[in-house]
Amino acid sequence: MLTIKCMSILCKITSKLDMTPVIDVLKSADIFEAATNKKDALAQLTPDKAGELAMQALSAILPQLDIVGEFLPELIAAYKKITIDEACELDALEVIDEIVHDRGIISFFKRALPGKVEQTLTDSSTSIMTGA
């Protein structure tokens, strides 16, 4: 369940992530063969393609884990309603699997990340135009 405490920690995490590597992965992914519109593209997004794309995006963002790593025990503790010390002792893969299937967290990222991606694209365009 996505609690207010979890949501505030997720906001801290997403604000620190640079989405450029994920955007680059998505731009270069050839998963939509000759799609002419969004509906056609979504129809081509099979579970296998979605899994492959998710793994590529995760691989692109993993190098940033050290940036957000300090928030992970706090997030897990809030999510599981346990102490931070207890959260640090849990099986990471089991917790990740539980979190990525949580409807509240999925909904949060569906809403939070598009804005973050849009901000990243705007920042990138500004940098290109100003030569920064």
pLDDT tens digits, one per residue of 71-110? 999 999 999 999 999 999 999 999 988 987 888 887 887 7
pLDDT tens digits, one per residue of 31-74? 666 677 777 777 777 778 777 777 888 888 888 888 998 999 99
Q: Is residue 129 pLDDT above 50, yes or no? A: no
Those residues whose C-beta lies under 8 Å from the C-beta of residue 86, and which sit 6 or more positions away, are 77, 80
Q: Is residue 126 pLDDT above 60, yes or no? A: no
Q: What distance in Å separates the CA atoms of residue 101 and residue 54, rounded to the nearest whole number?
A: 13
Average pLDDT (96-125) is 72
Q: What distance in Å separates the CA atoms of residue 87 and residue 36, rounded to the nearest whole number?
A: 46
Q: What distance in Å separates the CA atoms of residue 93 and residue 8, rounded to the nearest whole number?
A: 23
Sequential DSSP letters for 1-14: ---HHHHHHHHHHH
Q: Encoding tokens for residue 106?
A: 């999925």
Q: What distance in Å separates the CA atoms of residue 28 and residue 69, rounded to the nearest whole number?
A: 27
3-state SS string over 38-77? Answer: HHHHHHCCCHHHHHHHHHHHHHHHHHHHHHHHHHHHHHHH
Domain limits, the chain: 4-126
State which amino acid sits at residue 3. T
